[in-house]
Structure 1
Amino acid sequence: MILQELPIIAANGTVLRIGALDEFSQPVLETIARIHETAMPQPPSRESGECRVQLLSVKSALPEGVSPEPVLTVPGVEIHRGGDTLYFRLAEVPPPTWEESLRYRLPLLAAVMAATLEGRQVVLFHGCLLLRDDGEGIVLTGESEVGKSTTFRRWQTAGGRGLCDDLMILSRGAGADGRSCFYAQPLPTWSRCLREGIAAKELRYPVNEKIPIRRILWLTRSATEREELIPVTIQKWHGQLLAACNQHMLFTQYALTVEERRQLVMECWKIVDEIDTIYSPLALAAHLQGNLRETLKHV
């Protein structure tokens, strides 16, 4: 029986649910809520939908019918599966390093993955989110180390607001004019726990900020002295979008069956096709000497 449940609502109305099964996991659920600056967990209501991600202590018994053999193991966390539900068994003493963040980040990532698999047109997306003055967002995606964090800082230095530089929830919904559009919601840059030694509990990202996306751009480095927007081939565009949809699910998807992994890829392709109907293939060829605000002014 779930004692508490944390619902995080995607911009298109999909509810991402994480449940706590014992008193030990309740504070962990509360920390997840604080990190994402969302409402504190509440007792589950009768109207609650199915909770596909549930937390409990390693000292608590697994629900009946759940195999005692974990499908995935990371420091301080065992992941078990019972039907369509993933059970995260948490060590009562977490690892004394950045690995403690695994108990806070993996459950939400798994909840988003479950929504993707169900065809809710919600996905984890690898990229940075720049906020325009009109409240719309520009999403930059690209290979790791291509310069997303650097471009994010350049945007901030130029007076712009950035919401995340690594990961977001991307969901398809309807805009104010009724037309189909995508929204982004910022998620923590978890790699900072590794690179900079930042305690997971100190991270804060406002997941409830639902930003309508004006443009999605593939970020590359300029081969000239100019910073400019350039067209890209549909093959490169599709490949990058699909990689961005899969990157942060590469670990948790090993809790799925082979057929479910295939289905997950197909659902990501559907999202890529939807992106295609709204945004044309375009890249930002970035340069450190460029005027980023001016370059993106008319995007």
Structure 2
Amino acid sequence: MSELVLPLRTGSPLIVRDSAAGRPGCLDRLALLTGGKVRDAVSAASPQCEITVEAPSGRSCSELAAWRRYALLLDRDNDGFVITLRKGETGSPPPIPVGLWQLGLLTACISAVLRGARILPVHGALLAVSKGGLLLCGQSGMGKSTTSRRWQAAGGSVPADDMVLLECGGEEVIAHPLPTWSRCRESLEGASYPFEPALPVAGVFALARGEEREELKEAASREFFMSIYSACCCFASPLVRLLPQEERERLLAAIRETADRLAEVSPPTALFAHLDGNLQKTLKDYL
């Protein structure tokens, strides 16, 4: 039995525990991707996510839903809720289950939210600048990955290109990069999403495609907020409808609170990205 520990700045750390045998490298690879630490000796603290072959004995679990070859169970204990992943009824897990890396972290984050942690996994790209990170929000296919590659080609750093854990418990909104499911499916060679050091969010942009040129432009407040709210809903929404009413309302409130905090980081601004543009010049005021 082992566990991965990822530190938060304003509360208890995220703990993903793997009590299942026969999956060497599951948490070890996740630790390499995030820079976290795997401990063999299990701490007294309750994990937010537990990966196991069978439902934990001696505790009452209610099954939430099947996710591919795994089932999610909501397990109430003295510390709150633990979302448990167990082997599904059909099929067998792959030798090194890539899906568990992201699913384990996502469910750990949601479980932490249900315990009162002011965090949320958000769909967006994070560009590193001297003042912190610029968060790009936009629907899938809008160009977050393409804009990230352009930023890297210009010499910039992209800590995350799809999934970011936002921590809103302090004066600043802190962004922790998380491994990307699509990126992990493509290749893990050289992939790194260091959970620490995290970056304060210095700017938030609603990403759109520039038809003629690249520019930053004032956005309509409603459209800007909806872009942010959609990003905040993306990873949590599949679990919302599966939770008991009280926990569902708690998660929805956390989504709205995070969206409100992000909307306050910077004025409503849209980044109209264009392949012929110069991102360094476009974002010069944030460098």
- Name the TM tier (shorter chain): 0.7 to 0.9
* One-letter amino acid matched to 2:246: E
**Partner in structure 2 of residue 183 of structure 1:** 174
* One-letter amino acid matched to 1:120: A
**Partner in structure 2 of residue 204 of structure 1:** 192
1:273 aligns with 2:273: no
Task: Say whether the 8 Å CA contact 1:232–1:282 is kept in structure 2.
Answer: yes
Task: Say whether the 8 Å CA contact 1:76–1:100 is kept in structure 2.
Answer: no
For structure 2, the residue ranges without an aligned partner over 5 or more in a row are none
Using a 3 Å threshold, how does the CA distance of structure 1 residues 273 and 209 change in structure 2: closer, same or farther?
same
Residue of 5, 8, 12 corresponding to 2:6: 8
Using a 3 Å threshold, how does the CA distance of structure 1 residues 87 and 255 change in structure 2: closer, same or farther?
farther
**Partner in structure 2 of residue 43 of structure 1:** 41
Give distance in 2, aligned partners of 1:86 and 1:26.
21
**Partner in structure 2 of residue 235 of structure 1:** 222
**Partner in structure 2 of residue 262 of structure 1:** 249
**Partner in structure 2 of residue 111 of structure 1:** 108
Give distance in 2, aligned partners of 1:100 and 1:45.
24
Secondary structure of the 1:94 match is coil
Percent identity of the aligned residues? Answer: 30
* One-letter amino acid matched to 1:211: L
1:131 aligns with 2:122: no
Deviation at 1:25, TM superposition (A): 6.0
Q: Deviations over 1:187-233 (max 9, x none)?
A: 12212345x3x36x97432122301221111111123x221111112
Task: Say whether the 8 Å CA contact 2:110–2:120 is kept in structure 1.
Answer: yes
* One-letter amino acid matched to 1:181: E
Task: Say whether the 8 Å CA contact 2:16–2:104 is kept in structure 1.
Answer: yes
Give the number of equivalent residue pairs: 280
Normalising by structure 2, what TM-score?
0.86
Secondary structure of the 1:55 match is strand
Task: Say whether the 8 Å CA contact 2:63–2:73 is kept in structure 1.
Answer: yes
Deviation at 1:255, TM superposition (A): 4.4
Secondary structure of the 2:58 match is coil
Using a 3 Å threshold, how does the CA distance of structure 1 residues 28 and 90 change in structure 2: closer, same or farther?
farther
For structure 1, the residue ranges without an aligned partner over 5 or more in a row are 175-179
Q: Deviations over 1:82-111 (max 9, x none)?
A: 222222114794248xx9322221111011
1:170 aligns with 2:166: yes
Using a 3 Å threshold, how does the CA distance of structure 1 residues 45 and 74 change in structure 2: closer, same or farther?
closer
Task: Say whether the 8 Å CA contact 1:218–1:283 is kept in structure 2.
Answer: yes
Q: Deviations over 1:2-27 (max 9, x none)?
A: x4332211243441111233444675
Q: How does 1:153-168 map to 2 (within 5 A)?
A: 153-168=149-164
Deviation at 1:277, TM superposition (A): 3.2
Task: Say whether the 8 Å CA contact 2:213–2:277 is kept in structure 1.
Answer: yes
Indicate the RMSD between aligned Cα atoms, in angstroms.
Answer: 2.6
1:94 aligns with 2:93: yes
Using a 3 Å threshold, how does the CA distance of structure 1 residues 65 and 161 change in structure 2: closer, same or farther?
closer
1:284 aligns with 2:271: yes
Q: Deviations over 1:50-76 (max 9, x none)?
A: 323111124xx6322434x74222333
Give distance in 2, aligned partners of 1:86 and 1:186.
21
